[in-house]
Amino acid sequence: MGMQWTPAVLQRRRHGRVQCLLCPFRCALEDGETGLCGVRRRTGDRLETATFASSVRHWDTVERKPLYHYRPGTPCLTLAAPGCTFACDYCINHRMSQYGREDSVRWDAEPVDAEEVAGEAAARSGCVAISYTEPSLAIELTAALAESGRPLGVDVVWKSNGFLTAEAVDLAARHVAAVNVDVKTLDERDHRDLTGARPGPVLDALTGLRERGVWVEVSTPLIPGLTAGPGTLRPIARALAALDPAIPWHLVRATPAHRRTGHAPTPVADLAAGVRIGREEGLRHVYVERALGAVGRATRCPRCRTTVVARDIWALGENALEDGRCPRCGTAVEGRW
Amino acid sequence: MAEYRMVEHIPDLIQPEEYERHPEGRLVRISISVDGGGVQVLGDAFRPEVLERLLETLGPDAIEQMLCG
């Protein structure tokens, strides 16, 4: 089925153009023009989106997003429409995410029935995730899923690049329960090289989402020769710790992919060094999904260091928390348990 | 050119314990099985583009891939 365009939110008239207010590019569109994202366009006086649709319908766990402090073990019905606000040259998902930028990426998404999706998620006591591509581009679908899911106890979670305007943050916070935001680097030039965009709005968005009550975790890809060293990791850890030392920080091993293939995979030693840096800067929860084994995935009590949540790869092992508290010393562990 | 299909799950053939033994990421592991439906080639690699080139050389109708996130 081809693209189906439906009404979009977050727009204003400006100097005879229709301006999209979803991402910080703030595309000002003439009639018939499509934004940089390739999935929002102007038709007459109306802004439209093609993202009330999904190319996939995958069941996985919340740990895969990754979200470690949000309802561990929750099954996620995951949706994604092609498209992204970033053009990351290392993106493993480029065959979906780079729609609109690369001719080889075709539109293969089907319209989504939000009530039906929420019902399927409710039947497994799960949540709905929008992931793999940029979920904020599907803000209208997110709202519909959240509204359908709310009476059923079904939350919507995101895995996002965090490139949102303040207006989009306001709207997203009404509908998204938890989000993992990629903070790739705070270095202006490196971030532009990697993604085609500035890093500042990403930190602003994750701050705004937290302030509005969304549970936020952060991922950073450790790309050898670019973002895997202390020069990248320490400023990120410091910035996160200044916001809240309890923000979970996921260090992600990078494999050569897409257009960035001239490096080896992230050395295990770099991931271990990243964990040390996170802790030195005061972060309480720093995670590595595979390379450091079960110890790298475990949540420990920040006070007595007892393992309170043990994880397998992309799965919950055991959650020993009692009402969100360490069973040994009673210290509260931050999260939505 | 093979069509890429995004699927929910593909089994791992490489385990995290092997990461440090291959710092340059040159390891590729392949499993080939045959049943009534045809031949299935399952692959895992530290460098996805190497595996993709290899699988494309075999001329399949489709290559299945997992997504990240």
The range of the structural domain enclosing residue B42 comes to: 28-68
Binary contact (B25, A293; C-beta < 8 A)? no
Q: Residue A137, SS3? A: helix
Binary contact (B16, A55; C-beta < 8 A)? no
Q: What distance in Å separates the CA atoms of residue A182 and residue A128, rounded to the nearest whole number?
A: 19
Contacts of residue A183, Cβ cutoff 8 Å, sequence gap at least 6: A162, A199, A202, A203, A206, A218, A219, A220, A236, A239, A240
Residue B9 lies in a domain: no
Share of chain A above pLDDT 70, in %: 100
Residue B63 lies in a domain: yes
Q: Residue A231, SS3? A: helix
What residues of A are in contact with residue B19 (Cβ under 8 Å)? 253, 265, 268, 290-291
What residues of B are in contact with residue A158 (Cβ under 8 Å)? none
Q: What is the complex's ipTM, to 2 decimals? A: 0.94
The pLDDT of residue A256? 92
How confident is the model over A250-265, as a mean pLDDT? 93
Residue B50 lies in a domain: yes
Residue B20 lies in a domain: no
Binary contact (B19, A64; C-beta < 8 A)? no
Residue B22 lies in a domain: no
Residue B18 lies in a domain: no
Residue B48 lies in a domain: yes
Residue B7 lies in a domain: no
Query: What is the nearest CA distance from A174 to chain B, expressed in angstroms?
Result: 22
Helices of type H across A65-113: 94-97
What residues of B are in contact with residue A265 (Cβ under 8 Å)? 19, 25, 46-47
Beta bridge partners of B45: B28
Count of the separate structural domains present in chain B: 1
Select the residue of B7, B8, B46 nearest A255 (Cβ to Cβ).
B46
pLDDT per position in chain B (69 positions), as tens? 789 999 999 999 999 999 999 999 999 999 999 999 889 999 999 999 899 999 999 999 999 999 999
